[in-house]
Structure 1
């Protein structure tokens, strides 16, 4: 059987509510440059 340990897998946050909640805890302003590293579908990038 080829079972993967959940700790070793990638998980993506897709909930717009959770993305906004996480970003609300940052001090990112419109003048800041942000480099987003990693793969994904750009959920954070879209909100930034």
Structure 2
């Protein structure tokens, strides 16, 4: 079995996926806050 050597794996795809996940999560959080503000202002 091969020895594991820290830092040799190519992680560019994982980094792009994580960055995309963080970006989408941020957009969803901002949208949710805006919807809550809209509902608080225009609640009848």
Which of the five TM-score ranges fits, normalised by the shorter chain? under 0.3
Tell me which protein shows more helix as a share of its residues: 2
TM-score w.r.t. length of structure 1: 0.23
Larger Rg: 2
TM-score w.r.t. length of structure 2: 0.23
Relative contact order higher in (CA < 8 Å, ≥ 6 apart): 1
